[in-house]
Structure 1
């Protein structure tokens, strides 16, 4: 029995490492257009529609969100008002700073520490730890957002939700600038 466990560990662990190393590289979007300008896109009102899927790809929630962005210098405040398909209402307020090197850092009440973001071409990668509430319990999970600017009004967002390095869910969002 120990030999089978050892063999499984020797075969599965390298495979998991290999698969987790295979991810998109932000540099792949160099030169893609339209160029993503976070402050320009989110200033004013934006609406979004999205869904959450669990690790089996089953849709578990749907939601709409209205986002109002206010820019002051190198900082944008995003007030996000969510309405979920079960009637739940939620609000998140982001404060995002544009740093001298062109990257971003952000804060919100349910974010653990700071979010970090970088733009290349039409893509923004936004990463952070999030306090996810599920059935009355709270879990710290990692969010890896990839936003893609489609045109002046449209933006797509794909998010991987991970716990202990394993994907436990995804979020798909479509944004429309008003």
Structure 2
């Protein structure tokens, strides 16, 4: 019985590890992601939020204005949700060596960290999610992929206590 538990544990560990994406897998993918280059100027996006079961819970559009000064990108994101709610987030993102980034925004807890390689950017942070009657902290694991000069897409896993509780899918165009 112990042997069976060890085998099952090993199989589960391999499955979990196999599901983890590795940014290095995109190293040779083109076009290069270029976070600052893509988001400088005006960008439009649209997307949806899904709950843990895959049910769509929200739809939204975003107008983004990006400005670059030296090694800092400022993104002003104006959200409009399908129910009429409006929200604004202002990111301040700094570039460091080797494709690494750090970002800050009012509803982000601490510092967001990111790394780009090839046509991909992985962006991770804790987010203060406000509901009708409370606030909870969730972790976001964003994967952005540059499609071409004008398009990129983003898939985000929203996690609480290590379990996926939602997903965001977002499409961007210049």
Give TM-score, length-normalised by structure 2. Answer: 0.91
1:22-101 → structure 2 map (5 Å cutoff): 22-101=19-98
Please give the root-mean-square deviation of Cα atoms over the aligned residues, in Å: 1.8
Where do 5+ consecutive residues of structure 2 fail to align?
none
Shift of 1:19: 4.4
Q: Which moved more, 1:95-104 or 1:37-46?
A: 95-104
Tell me how far apart the structure 1 counterparts of residues 73 and 25 of structure 2 sit (CA, whole Å). Answer: 27
Shift of 1:137: 1.0
Shift of 1:100: 2.5
1:135 to 109, 122, 132: 132
SS of the aligned residue for 1:101 comes to helix
Describe the superposition over 1:14-39 as per-residue Cα deviations: whole angstroms up to 9, x where unpaired.
Answer: 77655443211000001100010000
2:145 to 144, 148, 160: 148
Tell me how far apart the structure 1 counterparts of residues 132 and 7 of structure 2 sit (CA, whole Å). Answer: 35
SS of the aligned residue for 2:49 comes to strand
Tell me how far apart the structure 2 counterparts of residues 13 and 112 of structure 1 sit (CA, whole Å). Answer: 34
| Other-structure match for 1:164 | 161
SS of the aligned residue for 2:98 comes to coil
Q: Does 1:116 align with 2:113?
A: yes
Shift of 1:134: 1.9
Give TM-score, length-normalised by structure 1. Answer: 0.89
SS of the aligned residue for 1:39 comes to helix
Tell me how far apart the structure 1 counterparts of residues 83 and 121 of structure 2 sit (CA, whole Å). Answer: 30
Tell me how far apart the structure 1 counterparts of residues 71 and 117 of structure 2 sit (CA, whole Å). Answer: 18
